Amino acid sequence: MTKDNIPSEKQSSKTEAEFVQSMNHSFEKLEQSFSFTTPDVNFFEQKIAQQKKQIRKKWRQDLLLFSTIAIIILSLMFTAFFQQPYVFVVLQVATVISLVGYTGYEFRKGKERVRHE
């Protein structure tokens, strides 16, 4: 390269300064086109209040469902126990056997997963 083709330091700093100035101008335009505002605190407080209300409503529904199912199961068990004790005993034995079988199945399935990994 010859000395004539090499840009001088003055030209280089001048083009850098122009580049920086054009970048700053572009950033200012960008900031002006997009306005950033801080959201209102009341908006978030209302959202939180709504979420709490929905959570309380869901909890009440779940509690009502649980209570209803528990009452039905207990009434059926008491009816079976007092009307036909033999049926009650058979249900208790079947429940224990199924729980033991299910626990054993899950235990074996868990051991197989460990071996394969």
Supply 86's token pair: 């033999």
Kindly report, residue by residue over 29-44, the tens digit of the pLDDT: 888 877 777 778 898 9
Query: pTM here?
Result: 0.44
At 29 the pLDDT is: 86
Supply 49's token pair: 């209040």
Sign of the C-alpha dihedral, residues 36, 37, 43, 48? positive
Amino acid at position 94, single letter:
A
CB-based contacts of 45, cutoff 8 Å, min separation 6? none
**Cα gap 36→1, rounded to integer Å:** 50
CB-based contacts of 59, cutoff 8 Å, min separation 6? none
Q: Where are the domains of the chain?
A: 42-116
Q: Average per-residue pLDDT in the chain?
A: 84
Kindly report, residue by residue over 39-73, the tens digit of the pLDDT: 788 989 999 999 999 999 999 999 999 999 999 98
